[in-house]
């Protein structure tokens, strides 16, 4: 029963993919959209079954289908593990997935390749489910790489534009750098423990007494590099802003809610490993904090509505990594969930705006959309309040917990994270003000067509906004359902204390004030002063550095891409022909020897006879006299 | 039976054949006239034949002599063909000086 | 010094001398004549070795057939005049050197291999009369014998074909 | 029932194709190709049931040479690769017209015969004969039916011929030397020879030269790209799909067990060479203008990794190498076929002259993309299984090897996606590109099906090859 249902859970999106890719063009757009959405909705429904089922089975459901890869010291099965963590992830992957599919039916209706879009989206969900429910690192790796592939396909969905294709390629390759790290980590774990199975690994690591700490740390670090690639952390984050080239629902699903959280999922899954390697945890925390800050600063000055959201995503992911690095996995998971709600809502809202403006993404050309698009405005406002940490919205709870944890462990990290969240509040409301308030700054043509989006778009927005509002309820301070739920995965939660003291309240107040200050500055600048960001050329000073994202892309281009391309040309033009000439050199040498030798064969019989006699003498004397 | 080898000894025949053979070799190298070269080859052949017969007597075995017989047959054929070739070379080139025969050159 | 040894020495001297003269004669006709004498002396050696059959065959084949062929050829080509240009000195020197060398080596070899030759013992058995040879030839060596005849036939055809005047091609 | 049946079918097929005449040649060839594939599958069954399907017969007594065809799991896996790919390759050429096609198809079957023979032979000299025999058909295929300027083609092909031949002569010398010691060319007898370390080194190097040129490893690869470019696509498929694997197979079957001490002593050097090939091939592939040349360099990178895996002398390394060989065989054939399909429509192999194909051809694009991702070893494709196992074995030797070899994951994605982007994406091409025909589709779908099936369920192949690889490992680890 469980096996079949798990297969249904996994294969429903895959079936949707097959139907859409094979027959999509014949099915018609609506049907293809319905198939795509239904496929994910089925998975969502099955997830609910499992959500109920594992309540009775705390250790989770383990299903092994068949033997997959065989290595000398262990075998890897193709199997599933459905426990609290994976079901939690499944819930929002398939849940938000269904909503975004629904949203896409309208959003992508004008595209001629809509069936392909749904096929890829379904394939993505399929791989994401594989990633989440894989019972070992390698099955997880299938999903891990598979979502990368789908991300590549969807970023480059409008493949006639080579810039989009470049972005897609960049995303895939940056992810692959991380994947190499992940593979190395897998190798080391395989060698150390002769298993890649999460459950066995957990027993092996927790039970072992003489662990090789050096290699364990290396493994953890390598895995973290993998997480960096997928979850867009420094130094591998640059692909995520570029990934906004894809359709906006894709950005919402893949690049905000689900795929980019895979790194957090993996680290949480392997929390027993990371707990043993404090050095690596420190690195994770620092990388997370720095990423949060750097991305937030870049986000301050971006003018593309989706770029702002992208950097905000990177920044929020940084906060989650900070929590992971501090050992507060449940906090990171909590933030992943709330972030999924409000960020998906924000992306979908921005998609609604972009849709209404026929592809316009520059906030300098927006403004005053409040009246034309009330539902979009309202939902986005709720999500922005949530992300800014305004009390009672979900983001407040999760972000606050991260800051709390940071404060308890390391004050400088807390400072960095707090600054990042103030910035978050600022740039989110900068976005809101520029987009929805004041006068419309676009063309008259656009203004004429301004309209609220259809219900297929607004319903998901409303649902997500609702979730973004109440999402915090799952883990209220002091009485956390989430922590209890995750106890089988994170055993130390059982012993943790949940008390709220004065310090905590003060910190909360600081965070709230910080968030309000950020909003206030934005209000002062963009409503009171009525400022509109200047044109690209007019940006100067430090803003220009920020606007150009600290020139990181240029930097990578200069130290990695260009040298490799130069090397490639050098190899192609110089080394290859050199080696070739070397081989031909042997041929020429032989030719030359033969040409010289040819002169001996001048055709004179006399000379031949003479040589013959001499040869005879030599042979005879060797045969008879040498002994 | 009064046998010659009791009186002379096989070594003398060996020396004789060797010298005769070497004269043949010498002739081949020394002369340019193809006919003389040919004759020198015949001398070499005969030197070997002589040695065959001497050893045949020495071992009192008829096989050596049979061999000589065959070698004579072959020699006859060879001379016939060889001379025919020489004649046709002469006809084509007007001389049989072997230095002129450089067509073997590749 | 027995009579036989004297005869052997004389015959050998004739053989070697005529062989030398064959090579050194400027006139090919003379060479041919000397070669005939050389062959006769070799036939003498055969007689001395008591193989009459071979001696006779030798005279017939070499002195009779082959030498006649040589003479005819020489005459056909009209080579009785001395036209030959001598080879360069270096070649002649080389020829002499190699002559000495090969002589030395061959003699050295035979001296070296003397122990293998062993002592000469007569059993008195008849092994070289025409009768015995005939039996050996036509029993044991029947097939080669026939092949020899085919060889001669082929040689004959070949000779005719080679010496036939080719038609001039335009 | 024994393995000689496969060889007989292929040889008879070659003659029958030649006699069938130009019109029927391709069909007859396909028929015999399929028959050989069927026969090998039947034989595989017999083998799995534990029957002895070897064929060993004294051939020449002096010197002592046997006509020994010994089939173990490894050989059978490689023979299956050959006999399955052969009909696919033949079928793939159905869209093309060839002059004198009877000779063309006969040569393909003959080549397949020689290659299958190489995989099966367990007598040194017989193996050598098959090895060299396989060179002759590809020489003619590339020379007569190739493309491009005739003079340049001749130069490239003759270079390839002489180069590989020169390499294999050293192998012959090694075999003769071994024969002097063992008194037999049979593999089992050669195993028993006790060689000193110095002797082993020389034997190892002699074999290495032959295989390094055939595989090819850098810096012996200079023949490869040009020949791949000049040869007709069928020839390129045969070369890259099967013939390269002859070299890799031979490393495992002959070189390592015959000179294990040398292999162990200089392991790092040879693994390093393989990995250098990975990086070098990947980097050179980046800037190739010709699609076939790019694939040639990608092949160089992949075989470098396979060779590195073999030289680790671990079970994982050998197993991964064999798995990767088979996977690479299929993928590379598919990719070259893609190049051919584009050539059929656009008459070009220059990547810059393509572009904007995707919007016209959904099916073709999907299959191309699947082959691309298989080539970059996306998990769930067969290539991943191989690459993972090989990289794992490298990490057992030294983690840096795995990291350096693992750059293929990054660089491979880089050059393949770059190529895919330039060739397929972008503004719709003004020239019409018709989608795949049913023949082309069937071929590609077959290849893709194999890749995914064994990507998810490689157990049959793993079970097939593991016992024989374990035996080889025993030989490698025998005490001298």
Span D180-229, pLDDT tens digits: 888 888 888 888 888 888 899 999 999 999 999 998 888 888 888 889 98
Range name among C97-111, D18-32, D456-470 with the lowest pLDDT average: C97-111
pLDDT band at D385 (very low <50, low <70, confident <90, very high): very high
| pLDDT at residue D32 is higher than 90 | yes
pLDDT digits (tens, 9 = 90+) for A559-597: 888 998 998 999 888 888 898 888 888 889 989 999 888
Q: Judge whether C106 is closer than 8 Å to chain A, CB to CB.
A: yes
Size of interface A-D (CB pairs under 8 A): 137
- At A62, which helix (H) or strand (E)? strand A61-71
Any B CB within 8 A of C65 CB: yes
Q: Is A165 in contact with D425 (Cβ distance < 8 A)?
A: yes
Of A189-203, C68-82, C106-120, the one with minimum mean pLDDT is C106-120
Measured CA to CA, the distance from residue A311 to residue A316 in angstroms comes to 8
Percent of chain A clearing pLDDT 70 (strictly above): 98
Residue D461: name the closest of C142, B70, A70, A554 by CA: A70
Asked if D241 and D329 touch (Cβ cutoff 8 Å), the reply is yes
> Could you tell me if A553 and A426 are in contact, meaning their C-beta atoms sit under 8 angstroms apart?
no
Contact check, Cβ <8 Å, D284/A116: no
Other CB atoms within 10 Å distance of the CB of residue A525: 15
Residues in chain A, total: 627
The verdict on a CB contact (< 8 Å) between A583 and D223 is yes
DSSP D220: S
Contacts with D258 (C-beta within 8 Å, 6 or more apart), sequence order = D178, D190, D191, D203, D204, D207
Contact of C101 with chain B, judged by CB distance below 8 Å, is answered with no
Per the structure block, which two tokens stand in for C119? 């002592």
Picking from A89, A85, A145, A87, the residue whose alpha carbon sits closest to that of residue A269 is A85
**Is chain C touching chain B, with at least 3 CB–CB pairs below 8 Å?**
yes
Q: How far apart (Å, rounded) are the C-alpha atoms in residues A163 and A165?
A: 5
Chain B partners within 8 Å of C152 (Cβ):
73, 76-77
| Structural domains of chain B, ranges and CATH numbers in brackets | 8-97 (1.10.287.3510)
On whether any CB of chain D is under 8 Å from the CB of A141, the answer is yes
Q: What are the contacts of A560-569 at 24+ separation with CB within 8 A?
A: A564/D283, A564/D286, A564/D411, A564/D414, A565/D286, A565/D287, A567/D283, A568/D283, A568/D284, A568/D285, A568/D286, A568/D287, A569/D287
CA distance C37 to chain A (A): 27
Closest CA to A74 of A208, A178, A211, A186: A186
Q: What percent of chain B has pLDDT over 70?
A: 89
**What is the mean pLDDT of the segment spanning A101-107?**
88
| Predicted local confidence at residue A498, as pLDDT | 62
Average pLDDT, chain D: 90
Quote the percentage of chain A above a pLDDT of 90.
17
Specify whether the CB–CB gap between A271 and A206 falls below 8 A.
Answer: no
Alpha carbon of residue B17 to chain centroid: 11
CB A378 within 8 A of CB A398: no
Tokens for D395, please give them: 């990490």
Nearest to D379 among A142, A152, A567 (CB): A142
pLDDT of residue D351 exceeding 80: yes
Residues A455-475 have a mean pLDDT of 87
* Residue partners of D285: CB distance under 8 A and separation at least 6: A568, D294, D297, D298, D300, D301, D415
Interface test with B, best of A602, A604, A612 (most B CBs within 10 A): A604
Contact between D163 and A564 using a beta-carbon 8 Å cutoff: no
Helices (H), D239-381: 244-250, 256-258, 260-265, 267-286, 291-311, 315-346, 362-375
The rounded distance, in Å, linking the Cα atoms of A355 and C7 is 131
| Rounded-to-integer distance, Cα A341 and Cα A467, Å | 6
- Split at pLDDT 50, 70, 90, the class of B1 is very low
- Each domain of chain D, given as residue ranges in start order, spans 266-480
**DSSP letter assigned to residue A575:** I
CB D218 within 8 A of CB D277: yes
Min Cα distance C91 → chain B (Å) is: 7
Are A126 and A10 within 8 A, CB to CB? yes
CB atoms within 10 A of CB C139: 9
Which one of B25, B98, B106 has the shortest CB-CB distance to A605? Answer: B98
Sort out which chain B residues have CB atoms less than 8 A from A598's CB and list them: 106
| D422-460: pLDDT as tens digits | 888 888 888 888 888 888 999 999 999 999 999 999 999
Whether residue D372 is predicted with pLDDT greater than 80 in this model: the reply is yes
Selected for mutation to probe chain B from C11, C85, C137, C162 (highest B CB count within 10 Å) is: C162
| Partner-chain contact C122 B38, CB within 8 Å | no
**B25 contacts on A by Cβ (under 8 Å):** 613
Chain D residues whose beta carbon lies within 8 Å of the beta carbon of residue A70:
319, 458-459, 462, 466
Going by pLDDT thresholds of 50, 70 and 90, the confidence category of residue C170 is very low
Given a cut of 90, is residue A366 above it in pLDDT?
no
User: Are B53 and C51 inside 8 Å of each other by CB?
Assistant: yes
Query: DSSP readout, D32-80?
Result: HHHHHHHHHHHHHHHHHTT----EEEEEETTTTEEEEE---HHHHHHHH
Dump pLDDT digits (tens) for A203-246.
888 877 777 888 899 999 999 999 998 988 988 888 888 888 88
Cβ-defined contact of B80 to C92 (cutoff 8 Å): no
What mean pLDDT comes out for the span D159-172? 90
The closest CB to that of D395, out of A179, A191, A564, belongs to A191
CB contact under 8 Å between C151 and B77, yes or no, is yes
CB contact under 8 A, A173 and D284: no
* Residues A341-362 pLDDT 10s: 989 999 999 988 888 888 788 8
* C104 interfaces chain A, CB cutoff of 8 Å: no
Q: Are B15 and C9 in contact (CB under 8 A)?
A: no
Question: CA torsion, points D181, D186, D190, D192, in degrees to nearest 10?
Answer: -100
Torsion angles phi and psi, residue D285, rounded to 5: -60, -30
**What is the DSSP secondary structure assignment for residue A64, as one 8-state letter?**
E
Biggest CA–CA distance in chain D, Å, is 69
Kindly report the pTM of this predicted structure.
0.83
Neighbouring chains to B with at least 3 Cβ pairs closer than 8 Å: A, C
Establish whether chain B is in contact with chain D, requiring a minimum of 3 CB pairs below 8 angstroms: no
Q: Which two tokens stand for residue C3?
A: 């009579």
Q: What is the pLDDT of residue D111?
A: 94
User: Which tens digits make up the pLDDT trace of B9-63?
Assistant: 788 888 899 889 889 988 888 887 888 888 999 999 999 999 999 888 888 888 8
């Amino acid at each position: 029963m469980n096996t079949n249902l798990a297969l249904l859970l996994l294969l429903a999106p895959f079936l949707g993919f097959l139907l859409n890719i094979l027959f999509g063009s014949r099915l018609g757009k609506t049907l293809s959209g319905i198939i795509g959405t239904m496929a994910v909705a089925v998975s969502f429904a099955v997830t609910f079954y499992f959500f109920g089922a594992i309540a009775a089975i705390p250790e989770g459901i383990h299903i092994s289908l068949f033997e997959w890869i065989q290595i000398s010291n262990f075998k890897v099965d193709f199997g599933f593990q459905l426990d609290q963590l994976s079901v939690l992830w499944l819930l929002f992957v398939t849940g938000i997935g269904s909503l975004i599919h629904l949203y896409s039916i309208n959003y992508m209706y004008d595209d001629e390749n809509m069936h392909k879009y749904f096929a890829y989206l379904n394939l993505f969900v399929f791989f994401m489910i594989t990633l989440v429910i894989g019972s070992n690192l390698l099955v997880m790796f299938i999903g891990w790489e598979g979502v990368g592939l789908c991300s590549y396909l969807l970023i480059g969905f409008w493949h006639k534009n080579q810039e989009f294709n470049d972005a897609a390629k960049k995303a895939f390759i940056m992810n692959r750098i991380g994947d190499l790290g992940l593979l190395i980590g897998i190798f080391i774990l395989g060698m150390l423990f002769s298993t890649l199975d999460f459950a066995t690994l957990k027993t092996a690591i927790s039970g072992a007494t003489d662990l090789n700490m050096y290699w364990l740390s290396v493994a953890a670090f390598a895995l973290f590099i993998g997480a960096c690639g997928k979850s867009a952390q420094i130094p591998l984050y640059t692909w995520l802003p570029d990934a906004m080239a894809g359709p906006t629902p894709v950005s919402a699903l893949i690049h905000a809610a689900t795929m980019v959280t895979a790194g957090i999922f993996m680290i949480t899954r392997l929390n027993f490993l990371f707990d043993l390697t404090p050095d690596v945890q420190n690195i994770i925390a620092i990388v997370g904090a720095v990423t949060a800050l750097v991305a937030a600063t870049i986000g301050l000055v971006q003018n593309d509505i989706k770029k702002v959201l992208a950097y905000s995503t990177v920044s929020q992911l940084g906060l989650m990594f900070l929590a992971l690095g501090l050992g507060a996995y449940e906090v990171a998971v909590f933030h992943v969930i709330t972030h999924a709600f409000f960020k998906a809502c924000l992306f979908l809202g921005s998609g609604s705006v972009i849709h209404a403006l026929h592809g316009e993404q520059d906030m300098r050309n927006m403004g005053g959309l409040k009246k034309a698009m009330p539902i979009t405005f309202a939902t986005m406002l709720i999500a922005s309040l949530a992300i800014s940490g305004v009390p009672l919205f979900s983001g407040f709870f999760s972000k606050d917990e991260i800051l709390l944890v940071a404060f308890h462990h390391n004050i400088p990290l807390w400072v960095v994270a707090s600054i990042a969240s103030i910035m978050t509040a600022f740039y989110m409301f900068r976005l809101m003000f520029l987009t929805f308030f004041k006068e419309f700054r676009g063309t008259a043509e656009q203004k004429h067509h301004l309209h609220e989006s259809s219900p297929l778009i607004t319903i998901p927005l409303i649902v997500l906004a609702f979730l973004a509002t109440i999402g915090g309820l799952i883990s209220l301070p002091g009485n956390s359902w989430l922590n209890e739920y995750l106890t089988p995965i994170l055993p130390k939660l059982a012993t943790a204390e949940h008390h709220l003291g004065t310090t905590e309240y003060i910190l909360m107040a600081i965070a709230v004030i910080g968030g309000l200050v950020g909003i206030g500055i934005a209000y002062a600048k963009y409503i009171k002063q009525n400022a509109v960001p200047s044109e690209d050329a007019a940006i100067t000073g430090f803003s220009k550095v920020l606007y150009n994202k600290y020139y990181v892309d240029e930097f990578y281009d200069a130290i990695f891409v260009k040298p490799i391309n130069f090397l490639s040309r050098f190899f192609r033009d110089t080394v290859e022909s050199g080696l070739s000439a070397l081989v031909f050199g042997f041929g020429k040498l032989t030719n030359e020897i033969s040409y010289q030798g040819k002169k001996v064969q001048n055709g004179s019989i006399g000379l031949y006879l003479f040589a013959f006699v001499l040869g005879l003498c030599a042979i005879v004397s060797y045969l008879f006299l040498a002994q | 039976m009064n046998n010659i080898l009791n009186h002379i000894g096989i070594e003398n025949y060996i020396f004789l054949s060797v010298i005769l053979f070497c004269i043949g070799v010498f002739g081949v190298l020394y002369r340019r006239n193809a006919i003389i070269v040919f004759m020198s080859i015949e001398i070499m052949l005969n030197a070997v034949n002589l040695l065959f017969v001497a050893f045949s007597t020495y071992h009192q075995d008829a096989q050596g002599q049979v061999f000589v017989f065959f070698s004579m047959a072959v020699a006859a054929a060879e001379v016939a063909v060889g001379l025919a070739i020489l004649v046709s070379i002469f006809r084509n080139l007007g001389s049989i000086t072997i230095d002129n025969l450089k067509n073997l050159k590749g | 010094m027995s009579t036989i040894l004297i005869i052997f020495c004389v015959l050998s001297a004739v053989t070697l001398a005529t062989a030398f003269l064959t090579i050194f004669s400027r006139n090919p006709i003379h060479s041919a004549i000397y070669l005939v004498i050389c062959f006769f002396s070799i036939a003498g050696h055969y007689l001395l070795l008591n193989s009459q059959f071979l001696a006779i065959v030798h005279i017939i084949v070499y002195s009779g057939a082959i030498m006649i062929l040589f003479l005819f050829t020489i005459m056909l080509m009209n080579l009785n005049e001395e036209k030959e240009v001598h080879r360069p000195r270096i070649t002649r020197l080389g020829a002499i050197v190699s002559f000495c060398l090969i002589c030395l080596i061959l003699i050295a070899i035979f001296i070296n291999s003397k122990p293998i030759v062993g002592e000469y013992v007569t059993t008195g058995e008849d092994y070289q009369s025409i009768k015995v040879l005939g039996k050996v030839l036509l029993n044991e060596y029947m097939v080669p014998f026939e092949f020899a005849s085919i060889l001669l036939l082929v040689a004959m055809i070949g000779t005719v074909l080679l010496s036939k005047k080719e038609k001039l091609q335009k | 029932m024994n393995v000689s049946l496969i060889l007989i079918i292929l040889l008879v097929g070659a003659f029958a194709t030649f006699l069938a005449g130009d019109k029927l040649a391709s069909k007859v060839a396909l028929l015999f190709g399929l028959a050989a594939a069927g026969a090998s599958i039947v034989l595989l069954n017999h083998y799995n049931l534990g029957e002895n399907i070897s064929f060993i017969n004294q051939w020449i007594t002096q010197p002592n040479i046997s006509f020994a065809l010994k089939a173990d799991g490894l050989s059978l896996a490689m023979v299956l690769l050959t006999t399955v790919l052969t009909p696919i390759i033949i079928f793939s050429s159905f869209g093309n017209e060839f002059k004198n096609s009877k000779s063309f198809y006969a040569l393909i079957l003959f080549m397949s015969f020689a290659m299958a023979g190489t995989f099966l032979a367990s007598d040194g000299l017989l193996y050598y004969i098959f090895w060299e025999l396989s060179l002759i058909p590809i020489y003619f295929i590339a020379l007569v039916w190739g493309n491009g300027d005739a003079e340049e083609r001749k130069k490239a092909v003759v270079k390839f011929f002489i180069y590989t031949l020169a390499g294999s002569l050293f192998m012959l010398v090694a075999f003769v030397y071994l024969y002097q010691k063992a008194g037999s060319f049979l593999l089992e007898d050669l195993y028993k020879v006790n060689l000193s370390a110095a002797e082993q080194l020389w034997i190892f190097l002699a074999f290495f030269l032959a295989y390094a040129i055939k595989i090819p490893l850098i810096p012996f690869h200079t023949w490869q790209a040009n020949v791949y470019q000049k040869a007709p696509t069928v020839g390129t498929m045969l070369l890259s799909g099967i013939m390269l694997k002859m070299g890799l197979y031979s490393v495992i079957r002959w070189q390592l067990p015959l000179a294990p001490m040398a292999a162990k002593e200089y392991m790092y050097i040879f693994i390093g060479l393989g990995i250098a090939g990975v990086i070098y091939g990947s980097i050179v592939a980046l800037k190739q203008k010709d699609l076939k040349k790019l694939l040639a360099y990608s092949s160089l990178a992949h075989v470098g990794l396979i060779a590195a895996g073999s030289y680790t002398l671990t079970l994982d390394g050998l197993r991964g190498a064999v798995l990767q060989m088979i996977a690479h065989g299929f993928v590379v054939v598919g990719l070259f076929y893609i190049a051919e399909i584009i050539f059929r429509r656009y008459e070009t192999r220059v990547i810059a002259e393509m572009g904007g194909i995707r919007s016209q051809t959904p099916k073709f694009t999907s299959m191309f993309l699947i082959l691309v991702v298989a080539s970059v070893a996306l998990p769930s494709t067969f290539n991943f299984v191989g690459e993972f196992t090989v990289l794992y074995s490298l990490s057992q030797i030294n983690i840096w090897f795995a990291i350096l070899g693992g750059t293929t994951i990054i660089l491979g994605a880089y050059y393949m996606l770059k190529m895919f982007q330039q060739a397929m994406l972008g503004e719709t091409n003004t020239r019409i590109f018709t989608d795949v025909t049913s023949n082309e589709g069937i071929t590609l779908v077959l290849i893709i099906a194999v890749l995914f099936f064994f990507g998810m369920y490689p157990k049959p192949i793993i079970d097939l090859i593991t016992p024989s690889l374990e035996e080889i490992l025993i030989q490698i680890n025998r005490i001298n």
